[in-house]
Structure 1
Amino acid sequence: MRTLVHLSDLHFGRVDAGLLAPLRELIHQLAPDVVVVSGDLTQRAKSEQFEEARAWLDTLPGPQIIVPGNHDISLYNVFRRFFLPLTRYKRYITDDLDPMYVDEEIAVLGVNTARSLTFKDGRVNKEQIETIRAQLAGLGPDVVRIIVTHHPFDLPSSNDEDDLVDRAPMAMKAFADCGVDLLLAGHMHASHAGNTQQRYQISEYAALVVQAGTATSTRGRGEVNSFNVVRVESERIEVDRYGWDDIGKAFSLVKTEPFLRKGNVWSAHTEGLYATGI
């Protein structure tokens, strides 16, 4: 089994500073094999915000797979937005926009969906898809294949389809060919877990989609600050959602959702489902 801590939408520059130490301490207690951060590390892509984000990330265990979000591209500086869109991100966070971690049980691939030509939307292109194909080529059948993006490939039907990453159908066909199991994303500041079967209807294939809320931002959009712990086995994945308890001043387990794989289809497994409130 491998354990991933899945953080998203940190938004340094607009964080609740009281959450940083408890979150860091809990992550160390969880002892993850990989820490995943699915974008929007900053609020406005300023140098000091990236510096704060980098300093905090340096207090977390590794390895870390980090991708940028739309907030990590300058909004108001037009020259920087269009000609130097991720220069500060690459300077302070990582210059690798296609990060990858592989061991005998998991392959975790980061994919940059942030684009300067749009304020909040994201997209993938053919070159990125071919990179993913190459990175996953030759892996054993028991290796769980995980893609990390900021913008989601799937959402509940109640959400606006405009929030999905552009060219998602093209990407999903490639993911089916490559046997991608799990898609981790953020962007919406809302937690969600489900599979892709209804939206994409690819024969004998459905990936598991796990959406993280905002771990530290003051912009909760009606949901408490939260993050995910994803426990991965070749035939079973459990998603633990941790939410901020303002009374106890700590993150606590809110819900555990188990999913099982049959062939290349991941689906919810309700037996033994655990939930509590905060």
Structure 2
Amino acid sequence: MRTLVHLSDLHFGRTDPAILEPIVAQVHAIAPDLVVVSGDLTQRARATQFVEARAFLDALPQPQIVVPGNHDVPLFNVAARLFQPLKKYRRHIQQDLQPVYIDDEIAVIGINTARSLTIKDGRVNDQQIERARRQMAMLDDHIVKVIVTHHPFDLPAGPQHHDLVGHSIPAMRAFALCGADLLLAGHVHTSSAVSSSAHYDIPGYSALVVQAGTATSTRSRGETNSFNVIYIEAERIAVERMGWQPDQGKFVRTGLQCFRQTGNEWTLEEAPPALADGDMQNPA
């Protein structure tokens, strides 16, 4: 079994300082095998904000997979936005915009969806899709395959002011061919976990699409600050949502969903007793 902590939309420059130390302490207590950060590390892509984000990442456990978001591209500096959109991200966070982590149970592939020519929307292109397809096609069938983007392949239920990541249908068809299991994203500041079958009609295939809310930002959209803890094993994934409780000064479980794979399709199932009772260290 592998444990992932999934954080998103940190928005340094608009963070709640009361959250920073507790979230670092709790992530260390979880002792994840991998920390995933799905974009928007900063509010306005300023150097000082990237420095703060870098310090936060350094305080979290390793290894990590981090991808940029649209807020990590300068908004008001037009020249930088057009010609060097992720220069500060590369300087302070990492050079690799599409990082990969692989061990003997999981493969996690980051894809950069941030673009210069849009304000908030994102996109995957054919080269990124083909690269991810080749990387996943080389893996053994027992490896659980995870894609990380900032912009989502599906949206939570309810009114939305966002679009799906551009070029999503060709990407999903490629993911179906190589058996991508889990798609992690952020952007909308609302958490959810759903099967892709409701949005993509691909016979015999569905992935699990998991959104994280904003972990540390004051830019909430009706949902408390939150992050996901994801427990992964062959043919089974459990998604635990951790929500910030100011009166307790910590994050507590506010939701739990378990999914099982049959063939190449992921479907929701009832949480086993061990999970429902709070024993997340032994979810089998």
The answer to whether TM tops 0.5 is: yes
**Deviation (angstroms), 1:161:** 8.1
AA matched with 1:245:
Q
2:254 is aligned to 254
CA distance in 2 between counterparts of 1:148 and 1:271 reads: 25
CA distance in 1 between counterparts of 2:197 and 2:69 reads: 26
1:238 is aligned to 238
In the superposition, the TM-score normalised over structure 2's length comes to 0.95
CA distance in 2 between counterparts of 1:21 and 1:253 reads: 18
1:4 corresponds to 2:38 = no
- Does the Cα contact within 8 Å between 1:45 and 1:74 map onto a contact in 2? yes
Deviations 1:51-73 (A, max 9, x none): 00001100111110000000000
CA distance in 2 between counterparts of 1:34 and 1:275 reads: 24
Deviations 1:98-151 (A, max 9, x none): 100000100000000000100000000000011102211221111000000000
Name the Cα RMSD after superposition.
1.4
1:227 is aligned to 227
CA distance in 2 between counterparts of 1:189 and 1:21 reads: 21
Deviations 1:136-194 (A, max 9, x none): 12211110000000000012353448520001001000000010000000000001000
1:18 is aligned to 18
- The 3 A distance-change label for structure 1 pair 31 and 86 is same
CA distance in 2 between counterparts of 1:205 and 1:108 reads: 19
CA distance in 1 between counterparts of 2:160 and 2:19 reads: 30
Q: Secondary structure at the match of 2:199?
A: helix
**Ranges in structure 2 where 5+ consecutive residues have no aligned partner:** 279-284
Q: Secondary structure at the match of 2:134?
A: helix
CA distance in 2 between counterparts of 1:174 and 1:159 reads: 29
CA distance in 2 between counterparts of 1:50 and 1:35 reads: 18
**Ranges in structure 1 where 5+ consecutive residues have no aligned partner:** none
**Deviation (angstroms), 1:43:** 0.1
**Deviation (angstroms), 1:270:** 2.1
Kindly tell me the number of residue pairs found equivalent between the two proteins: 276
2:42 is aligned to 42
Question: Where in structure 1 do 4 or more consecutive aligned residues deviate above 3 Å?
Answer: 156-162, 271-276
AA matched with 1:115:
R
CA distance in 2 between counterparts of 1:252 and 1:271 reads: 18
AA matched with 2:239:
V
1:168 is aligned to 168
1:180 corresponds to 2:180 = yes
- Does the Cα contact within 8 Å between 1:254 and 1:275 map onto a contact in 2? no
1:199 is aligned to 199
Deviations 1:68-93 (A, max 9, x none): 00000000000011011000000000
- Does the Cα contact within 8 Å between 2:257 and 2:271 map onto a contact in 1? no
What is the percent sequence identity of the aligned residues?
58
2:74 is aligned to 74
